Structure 1
Amino acid sequence: MTTVPGPAGPVPRFRNHLRQSFRRDGNPLVRPIDRSRSRALLLTALGIGLALLCSAGAATADFASVRHRDFVTATRLHGVQAVALTPAQRRIEAGTGRTRYEADAAWTSPDGHNTTGTVAVPGNTVAGSAVRVQVDDTGRPVPSPPGTIHTAAEAAGLGLLIFGGLAALLIAGLNIRLMVLDRRADQVWQHSWVLFEPLWSGRTPRDNRAG
């Protein structure tokens, strides 16, 4: 039994635009404006792909740079035992609204000097409690570098910001190009209508002007 193949399905839209752009569709009814429109769409798609690659590269570079900086910073940090001089005081961080607790504390810096300052502590800290303080080589308290997840989230945000900006510019350029092509197509159609409408309607150009 011989199987008769069914009709071919519709050409995918991307392939259709690709064929029109390179005059591979073999359709004599496709206008030059249609081919220009297809080229504009393909170039925009290519630009968005390149924008995605650029934004991913920028995010990766930012992540690697920040992690290297944090690694170098971490090698210069020291954990010391401190004594809380006051109970924990609740603080609200400006801008973020997050709650943190601080207390005055005393500790011995890596160079042997006795140092006092305000440090972050647990919320249940009371005066006289032992707290762990992270300091630099000079004994100044410093926060711990952000973790990998936090750094990755910031790098991803940077990549999305770059991609969004580039994609917005490309889409805006595409819309402008399509508007110009549509306006040109309308002008060509109006010109063709003036030339061929009398032939289609059976009227003469004089009758058309009289009407």
Structure 2
Amino acid sequence: MSDHHRPVRSGSPPSRRCGHLRRALGRERNPLCRTLDRARSRAVVFTVLGIALAALLGAAAAVTQLAAGQRQAAATAARLHRVEAVVQGSVRKAEASVAGGRAVHRADAAWTFPGDQRNTGSVDVPRNTGPGAAVGIWVDQDGRPAAAPRSTADLIGDSVCPNVFLFGVLAVLASAGLGARLSVLDRRADHAWTRSWARLEPVWSGRASRDDQQSRPDTPC
């Protein structure tokens, strides 16, 4: 881009940011500041404000989802009980499956709950668990095996990751929109500079005077 139509900018990043804000608000006192410069600054300021607003809304949504998940996990934990089960046989590798990104193995086990009531069933166990080993399991009020309450790490992942992804998408779209807008303004600046140069170059170079003199008819002596 030629220096003749380069937007008005200051030296340091903080002053550039302040310059964009002043021009966006129409408070730029530089006589060289043009309408296109103000339009560029408004595009930059609106994009930055939009990204900041998206970040705030995403953070608020993540905090709200995390709080709701924690309340639900606490309510679930209040209805469950943690007991020790004794493995009765070897791990059935044939029943290993993939759940939540990790391998799950199961084995027959026995436990006592509620009270002295003896229960048996198939429970999740570590891969190398042998007969007679004790494993912790979650059971409901009737002693039936139940899924463990969700951990804080799982809740944070479920609440933060989607919002971070959405914020990233919005930031990329906003940046792309800003780039497109600035490209349009740059083309307008190029066209305006070309028109101005076509009008001013003959005067600036003196060619207009020479052409005018050559176009005058010779007067007789």
For 1:82, the equivalent position in structure 2 comes to 85
Asked whether the equivalents of residues 78 and 110 of structure 1 are also in contact (C-alpha less than 8 Å), the reply is no
- Percent identity of paired positions between Structure 1 and Structure 2: 45
Task: Give the counterpart letter for 2:90 in structure 1.
Answer: P
Larger CA deviation: 181-190 vs 32-41: 181-190
Seen in structure 2, the aligned counterparts of structure 1 residues 180 and 133 have a Cα distance that, compared at 3 Å, is: same
Where in structure 2 are the equivalents of 1:107-186 lying within 5 Å? 107=111, 110=114, 115-137=119-141, 139-186=143-190
Asked whether the equivalents of residues 48 and 167 of structure 1 are also in contact (C-alpha less than 8 Å), the reply is yes
User: How far apart are residue 51 of structure 1 and its match?
Assistant: 1.2
Seen in structure 2, the aligned counterparts of structure 1 residues 102 and 33 have a Cα distance that, compared at 3 Å, is: same
> Aligned pairs, how many?
198
Task: Give the counterpart letter for 2:195 in structure 1.
Answer: H
For 1:93, the equivalent position in structure 2 comes to 98
Task: Give the counterpart letter for 2:35 in structure 1.
Answer: P
Cα distance in 2 for residues equivalent to 1:143 and 1:205 = 92
For 2:54, the equivalent position in structure 1 comes to 51
Q: For the pair shown, which has the larger CA radius of gyration, 1 or 2?
A: 2
Task: Give the counterpart letter for 1:18 in structure 2.
Answer: L
User: How far apart are residue 70 of structure 1 and its match?
Assistant: 0.7
Structure 2 spans left out of the alignment, 5+ residues? 1-10, 212-221
User: How far apart are residue 76 of structure 1 and its match?
Assistant: 1.4
Task: Give the counterpart letter for 1:62 in structure 2.
Answer: Q
Structure 1 spans left out of the alignment, 5+ residues? 1-8
Cα distance in 2 for residues equivalent to 1:15 and 1:73 = 52
User: How far apart are residue 162 of structure 1 and its match?
Assistant: 2.4
- Normalised by the length of structure 1, the TM-score is 0.78
Cα distance in 2 for residues equivalent to 1:172 and 1:142 = 48
